[in-house]
Structure 1
Amino acid sequence: MIPLSKFKMNLKNLKKVDILMFISILLITMFGILNIYLAKKVSTGGMIFPLKQSLFFVGAIILLYFVLAIDYSIIKAFTPIFYWTSIALLVLVLIIGSTINGAQGWIRLGPLSFQPAELAKIATVMMMGKKLEDMDGEINNLKNFLVLAFYAIIPAGLIVIQPDMGMTMVLFFMVLGVFFIGGLDKRIILGGLGALIVGIVLVWNSGLIQDYQKRRITSFRNPETDTSGSGYHLRQSLIAIGSGGFFGTLDSLANDGTGGYASQYVPEIQTDFIFSQICQQWGTFGAICLLALYGLLISRMINIARTAKDLFGTILTTGMIAYFLFAIWQNIGMTIGLMPITGITLPLVSYGGSSLATTILSLGLVLNIGMRRKKLNF
């Protein structure tokens, strides 16, 4: 147990918090909650979505204090417990989990639901960072590489079984970022990409993915072929985005009860397709502002990764950078027809309590690493 005295915030350390990164987290999340509200205000019970997201946000910010108060080296010592707990939850979800959008990946706790894969992706990066640090960074040693791969394959395999290809892709690119920044031989990385392609082909033809899920994923190539079926999501998303112009329509802000086109016709508008809502309401200008905030957040994380006092800090921060880069590219890409449609949400913006909470707390660890990037001299 960690004594409560350890959670007393040191004012000297508090002043070292990367304020630009912290502000960007707050602004992106609040903008997300606003758009969840605008997207669902005309629906029955629509207020429940922004209300629950706000509660998770407040709860995550409160927990963020405890993450920042304690030196992350202490948290690092608990990484194995954190990792194996997440693995146990991934096994449990396959036994008692609820199925949403074809994936048995959620554990219901009364009115709330929790996605263990969100926890597992962070725990996996933490475990790899700790092990790599224990190996003195010798990632190209075959034994060391196989150990790291072992810790990555376990959660990936359990997530594939659900099946949740979106989360599997997220975890893969986070691990890829860790291997790249850890100095893994580029030939091995290319081999890993080849193995991913083979793995996708095998899973695609294994029967785990249903035909309707396949059609939804491949519909981005030509949504016009089935505008009422598999291509419906993308078709409606493109109409909503195109109608926003440069400054947006702001029709969801009106009190006429009609809302905007996106809120009425784009499926999964509060989660997977929240970017369509943003583009329609706020236009290209709003999208640029959001991407600018993401750019600020990622740039601050890159700075922390470069100046971290240990390899664990660098690896963990790199994993979060890889997550944001891939998730933003994939989510926005699928709403405009450049990427396959998957269940990857827009970080800090899309509705989802477990995703929001784990992302904010993970970013809290990155802030913690930034606060303690230099060893104290007594």
Structure 2
Amino acid sequence: MSDRLIIFDTTLRDGEQSPGASMTKDEKIRIAKQLERMRVDVIEAGFAASSNGDFEAIRAIAANVKTSVVCSLARANELDIARAADALKPANRSRIHTFIATSALHMEKKLRMTPEQVYEQARLAVRLARNFTDDVEFSPEDSSRSDMDFLCRVLEAVIDEGANTINIPDTVGYAVPEGYAALIRQLRQRIPNSDRAVFSAHCHDDLGMAVANSLAAVKSGGARQIECAINGLGERAGNAALEEVVMAVKTRRDYFGLEIGIDTTQIVETSQLVSEITGFVVQPNKAVVGANAFAHTSGIHQDGVLKARDTYEIMRAEDVGWSASRIVLGKLSGRNAFRQRLQELGLPLGSESELDTAFVRFKALADRKTTVSDDALLALARECGIVGTHGARSS
């Protein structure tokens, strides 16, 4: 089995399904080019048959992106697949991602098709897609609630027809890590030709487990592609967050043992671009890309980080595109962090008693303001008779 993990980004397709996250063609091109700079393996640019706007955006992205694979989603029917193929014509490397639901609930209530009809449509859709590209992905929608025997039968057939990526979507965010990993592992074990396809995880976050499910699929299930979105955008509660998946695999390489091709220093810039375009603000405590992800306010933590960063930082802020981690002075800060910040501001203290006096004044200020800005710190220093590089030091 390969030790390389494929990162499939669906920000421009599933991410755009977040209510209010619609993007223009030009905005999609900007994001796609940034995803390419980040070295994303596969960019799912949209759903060509859904609208003329999506078709044109996919075509423009296909013409502008040179290194990443450009992908279009398509239902398992002739019209959708032909439309996707047409939109992808300018691409250097293209993929058609076709899907049909396989759970009893979806087949009966939504598709109003028999299992045999779904089986035939899935098989024929992949055969048709292979006429346009050698790179075909198939997804059995709502697979985590599908009958195992039927799922195996469908997937064996589509692999025989030439699908080389098999995506197992947890469409409604129903799965839990152990069960989802077991599902993919069992599929790989039971399907005779499973070794001819890369298995992929596509998880939604309805129960807050999209990233955990995706990583379990890789570690215990044998999946080698994860479908994710910047900032966890996506339908309803969203998808697995690309930044969390990537940094988990990179930071815990000792556990996962996988290589990824992502330039992680582009993560923050990409997150901020997507946030700016969609208007979806990234919560401050969001892992990796949140404003507080590398900020330290506790005095105990600040003291540790000032002595050795790895006491409280498992990854470097610079590795994901932040300039550095931050010490935030406030009511929880300790003496060492206070001293360090004064020195950074060019305000070295002449004696420990001077520091003690200033620190007591600082704590009283912090208790009222919670956090203390540099301007407030400079004003406090002047009140205490301490003037450094911002002015002549008093005697």
Interval of TM-score (by shorter of Structure 1 and Structure 2): under 0.3
Question: What TM-score do the two structures reach when normalised by structure 1?
Answer: 0.26
> TM-score, normalization: structure 2?
0.25
Which structure has the highest helix share of the two?
Answer: 1
Pick the structure with more strand per residue: 2
Q: Between Structure 1 and Structure 2, whose CA radius of gyration is higher?
A: 2
Higher relative contact order (CA 8 A, sep 6+): 1
